[in-house]
A and B are shown apart, each in its own frame.
Chain A
Amino acid sequence: MSKLFSRKSKQAFLWPLSKNNPIMVQILGICSALAVTAKLKPALVMGISVTIIIAFSNVIVSLIRDTIPNRIRIIIQLVVVAALVTIVSEILKAYVYDVSVQLSVYVGLIITNCILMGRLEAYAMSNKPWDSFLDGLGNGLGYAIILVIVSFFRELLGSGTLFDIRVIPASFYEAGYMNNGLMLMPPMALILIACIVWTHRYHNKELQEK
């Protein structure tokens, strides 16, 4: 076990969860974070799908990293990612049809998520499969956490529901409370992410630029 979780492996997994979070620190994958976070459920499924795809594409690319011709490495990485995304989307369609309907085009758009290409190019191309797997898992979860936080606030304040279950009591509405429609618009996701980045940097002084 000690070999499985060496310091390097641990770091590969834990680093992207906070100190090197793809969304909060690297500011990658912002577009999908804006698009799928209006409701919690699609955001969660998206987070899980991205995690699985990053982890496995990292392993595959890491396994074949020594054979990939340097000049076409990006294309090969893209082919690996696209194949995995297509398989995941086909499986979703066959086994959880209602979720795949909800996510519609966003599953296909995972291919263009910059976190994926970033991890493949920066980590999987130069590290062993097991470490790459943990790195992918860490980055995927780091991405998923932010998506869930953002969609929690957007769904709660924008629709008054969580997982489509009403949580703000009807008496609030009778007293004049109103859902904030602005929360459902993509710009609010950007503002929420900015607030998260702000809080995160406030607590992690070393991330603040001088």
Chain B
Amino acid sequence: MDTNSNSYTLIYATIVVVIVAFMLAFVSGALKEKQNANIELDKKRQILSSLQIDTKGKDVASLYDQYIVKGLVINYKGEIFSESKKEAFNIELAKELTKKVEDRRLPLYIANVDGETKYILTLQGTGLWGPIWGYLALNDDKNTIYGVYFSHASETPGLGASIAELPFQKQFIGKRILNDKNEFVSIAVMKAGKKAEGKDQVDAVSGGTITSKGVEAMLLNCIGQYVQFLQQPTTGGMNQ
């Protein structure tokens, strides 16, 4: 057969593409459920990490059910839309941040660690090369940080990527997001040796200045959205 004729070439290309398309569709369809389950588990693991719970080799789903007692969907004014754990979990903050601040729906998780209530806020920002995100757990005074978790899509390994490592995250424990006058000031991420005025600070990652600035901006913007909720004297039906 003449494998160089036009019609042969066309038919050959069509058949190959159709076969490959079917194969990929099949693989994607067959693995979709497993992948989504992985993504969901990974998100649960990240939320638990902000509570400093070691999830290595443990059943993340049951740990999540055990520690996270409630989920809330709120807006920046602190009004509660929903008290469903699932609804809060399904919100993608990255999508919400593209909306106007009044229209955003913010997820908030309430955890119970050894009888103490913790509030977990969701963070989303930009680093040097791509998105960075994280979770921040506050003690029940809604001021002191109990723990944080940060992750990133593509920061430089060994430099900016260190924000995803424990030594950087441990610095945040015990820092306060409010100043002495109870105003929201967030946390500063400063070059070692420099001093931030009127707020708590942590050391930036050396060699990762832009990523560190990204973390600082993310904390300011994202915690800022929750401030009205956090400063409400009564927090509506949470004293169970």
Residues of A within 8 A of B (CB): 38-39, 66-72, 75-76, 79-80, 83, 86-87, 90-91, 93-95, 97-98, 101, 104-105, 158-159, 181, 184
Query: In the complex, what distance in Å separates the CA atom of A150 from the CA atom of B4?
Result: 45
Tell me whether A75 and B13 are in contact (CB under 8 A).
yes
- Give residues 1-38 of B contacting A (CB, 8 Å): 3-4, 8-9, 12-13, 16-17, 20, 23-24, 27-28, 31, 34-35, 38
Tell me whether A184 and B159 are in contact (CB under 8 A).
yes
- Give residues 188-238 of B contacting A (CB, 8 Å): 206-207
Q: Which of A67, A86, A97 contacts B42 (CB 8 A)?
A: A97
Tell me whether B17 and A90 are in contact (CB under 8 A).
no
Query: In the complex, what distance in Å separates the CA atom of A184 from the CA atom of B157?
Result: 7
B139 within 8 A of A: no
Nearest to A158 among chain B residues (CB) is B158
Q: Which of A75, A90, A98 contacts B31 (CB 8 A)?
A: A90
Those 9 A-B pairs whose CB atoms lie nearest each other, nearest first: A184-B158, A38-B157, A97-B38, A94-B34, A94-B31, A69-B9, A83-B20, A93-B35, A94-B35
- Binding site secondary structure of chain A: helix
Q: Min CB distance, A107 to chain B, in Å?
A: 13
Nearest to A39 among chain B residues (CB) is B157
Interfacial chain B residues near A93, Cβ < 8 Å: 31, 35, 38
Query: In the complex, what distance in Å separates the CA atom of A76 from the CA atom of B41?
Result: 38
B153 within 8 A of A: yes
Interfacial chain A residues near B159, Cβ < 8 Å: 181, 184
Q: Which of B12, B28, B156, B158 contacts A68 (CB 8 A)?
A: B12
Tell me whether B153 and A104 are in contact (CB under 8 A).
yes
Query: In the complex, what distance in Å separates the CA atom of A181 from the CA atom of B208?
Result: 11
Whether A94 contacts B4 in the complex (CB less than 8 A), given A69-B12, A76-B16, A184-B158, comes out as no
Interfacial chain B residues near A101, Cβ < 8 Å: 42
B84 within 8 A of A: no
Given contacts A69-B3, A101-B42, A159-B158, 15 further A-B contacts (CB under 8 A): A38-B157, A38-B158, A68-B3, A68-B12, A71-B9, A72-B12, A76-B12, A79-B20, A87-B23, A90-B31, A93-B38, A94-B35, A97-B38, A104-B154, A158-B158
Tell me whether A94 and B38 are in contact (CB under 8 A).
yes
Nearest to A106 among chain B residues (CB) is B154
Tell me whether B4 and A71 are in contact (CB under 8 A).
yes
Interfacial chain B residues near A95, Cβ < 8 Å: 34
Query: In the complex, what distance in Å separates the CA atom of A95 from the CA atom of B35?
Result: 8
Q: Min CB distance, A39 to chain B, in Å?
A: 6
Nearest to A95 among chain B residues (CB) is B34
Q: Which of A79, A87, A158 contacts B16 (CB 8 A)?
A: A79
10 A-B pairs (CB sep. < 8 Å)? A39-B157, A67-B12, A69-B12, A86-B27, A87-B23, A90-B31, A93-B31, A94-B31, A94-B35, A97-B38
Interfacial chain A residues near B153, Cβ < 8 Å: 104
Q: Which of A79, A94, A97, A104 contacts B17 (CB 8 A)?
A: A79
Tell me whether B12 and A86 are in contact (CB under 8 A).
no
Interfacial chain B residues near A66, Cβ < 8 Å: 3
Nearest to B153 among chain A residues (CB) is A104
